[in-house]
Amino acid sequence: MTDQMTGQVTVEELAALMKQTAGVAVDPDDLRQRAGSGFDAFGLDSLGLLGVVGELEKRYGRDMPERAEQCRTPREFLDFVNGVLTAEA
């Protein structure tokens, strides 16, 4: 569920990906409110984040830079990934 107006990954999409790829259920509103907290606060480890990155690569048909896997918070991840998608659009 990419934002149709901007073509960017939304908090809702990230929450759905966390559940789909890592089995980590997170309420999108909670994720939005605590976007500056570490992924570990939501129960997502580095392997889980790798799964999220892999699914995004499939959805968008492009490789994400390795730095995407090193993001520590949802806010940092969304800012980085959306910056990549916007730059390559």
Domains in the chain (CATH in brackets) are 11-88 (1.10.1200.10)
| Other C-beta atoms lying within 10 Å of the C-beta of residue 7 | 12
Q: Convert the pLDDT of each residue in 2-29 to its tens digit.
A: 444 457 999 999 999 999 999 999 999 9
Query: How confident is the model at residue 87, as a pLDDT?
Result: 86
Cα 64 to Cα 47, 52, 61, distances in angstroms: 15, 11, 10
For residues 41 and 34, is the Cβ–Cβ distance under 8 A?
Answer: yes
- pTM listed for this prediction: 0.90
Give 69's strand partners: none
For residues 14 and 2, is the Cβ–Cβ distance under 8 A?
Answer: no
Split at pLDDT 50, 70, 90, the class of 66 is very high
For residues 77 and 71, is the Cβ–Cβ distance under 8 A?
Answer: yes
